[in-house]
Chain A
Amino acid sequence: MAGSMYESQDLYLDPSIKYWVLFPIMIVMFLVGILRHNITTILSVNQSLSTGEVKESLAVKYGRLFIANKNYIPESTFKLRKNYWYDAYNSGKYLNDPNATANGDMLDPANMESTMTGMKKAFANLIPQYVLMSWVSYFFAGFVIIKLPFYLPTRFKEMFQRGIDTQNLDISWVSSLSWYFFNLFGLGGIFSLILGSNNSAGSAKDIAPQMQMAPNQKDRFNKLHKSLAEEVKIVEHSWALDDIEDQILIKYGKKSPVNNDKKNK
């Protein structure tokens, strides 16, 4: 065995563990991940938006673009747009449903469809995890599977060596559950290679069931529009083209960049 800096306890493991445990877990998790991705794709296909929803989300996009690029249009038209959009956002002109209130009631029929889809997606992510975890800990429990090449603090021992009853076993020897966790994180990278970066089987999403946090608050856009109204009101115009002539002249070497003091003299 390769020497290491720590006193390693050498255990001899049955090679057939390799074939019957290590690889199967990896393969199963990989396949389940792909399955999850496909199911999520199928579920998201059926989501279609109505005109109102498109309108309000595009209005938000417009607002942001406007605020970002306001300096390139002349001041008069800027003022025009500023006033128009301030009114529009405030009066909820572009909103789908101006009277919507924060709807925590997810069973409301109008919300139902999107909530259902959100929940389905969340389940599609969570259930395979729990199922696999219980499968792994049921079938492959009670023995050491692998030696980690690094040293972890002792409190991980409990988690990684679940099912193994020896107290003094080196932290490096772990049970199959920990292999499950490793796969959970490691395969995320591989999925992004294979499925493209927009995949639903990545590891970051498994850790927290984020979908359950207000999947579609009805007045999400109402709030956005209100805040955009405020932003639009505040924003000031400083014309990027104000001294463009000077810049051009300097660029072509017709004029040297003097500072204002010298010019006034």
Chain B
Amino acid sequence: MESSIPSKFEKLNVVSMMENNQTAQAIRILASLFGGFAAGIMGLTGWSGIIFYGILSVVIFFFILLKAKFQYTKYFNGIKDVLVGDLFSNFLCYVMFWTLGYALVHVYE
């Protein structure tokens, strides 16, 4: 139908979509938290830590898609939202716990 294709995204209920985004964001923060801690414990330094974060976000992205049964348009506004979603504060959270983990395990004997 010509009329409904451009408005495909508007057909989503706004409130539910916001909730979905919030849940996804919560998942991402938790993941970066524990991932950061794990990276610290594992002793990753420098670029390997950042690459680990990249891999982590891709894995989480994949799992969210899996949960949405790959029909992400039904649940989210666009693929970019699912992948990125407030990248900056997640990354900082990751870095903080990465530092913490690293320090706790490696710096102190």
Contact = CB atoms under 8 A, between A and B. Distances in A.
Given A4-B45, A146-B103, A147-B103, A189 B92 contact: yes
A190 B29 contact: yes
User: Looking at chain B's contact residues, is the secondary structure mostly helix, strand, loop, or mixed?
Assistant: helix
Contacts, number: 99
A86 B2 CA distance: 32
A208 to B, nearest CB: 14
A181 to B, nearest CB: 10
A240 B104 contact: no
Given A2-B43, A203-B89, A240 B97 contact: no
Contacts of B96: 182-183, 185-187
A193 B95 contact: no
Interface residues of B, number: 36
B92 A203 contact: yes
Contacts of B106: 1-2, 147
Given A2-B43, A6-B46, A149-B45, A186 B2 contact: no
Contact of B97 (A2, A150, A186): A186
Contacts of B25: 192, 197
Interface stretch (A12-20, A49-57, A102-110, A131-139): A12-20
Given A149-B46, A189-B89, A18 B22 contact: no
Contacts of B104: 18
A151 B49 CA distance: 11
B98 A149 contact: yes
Interface in B13-44: 22, 25-26, 29-30, 32-33, 39-40, 43-44
Question: Which 4 pairs across A and B sit closest by C-beta, in order of nearness?
Answer: A186-B96, A2-B43, A189-B93, A185-B92
27 contacts: A4-B46, A5-B47, A13-B107, A22-B100, A22-B103, A146-B107, A147-B103, A147-B106, A148-B102, A149-B43, A149-B45, A149-B46, A150-B47, A185-B89, A185-B92, A185-B95, A186-B96, A188-B89, A188-B92, A189-B29, A189-B33, A189-B92, A190-B93, A193-B30, A203-B92, A240-B3, A250-B1
Given A149-B49, A150-B50, A192-B89, 10 more contacts: A2-B45, A4-B46, A18-B103, A146-B99, A146-B103, A150-B49, A150-B95, A185-B95, A189-B90, A192-B26
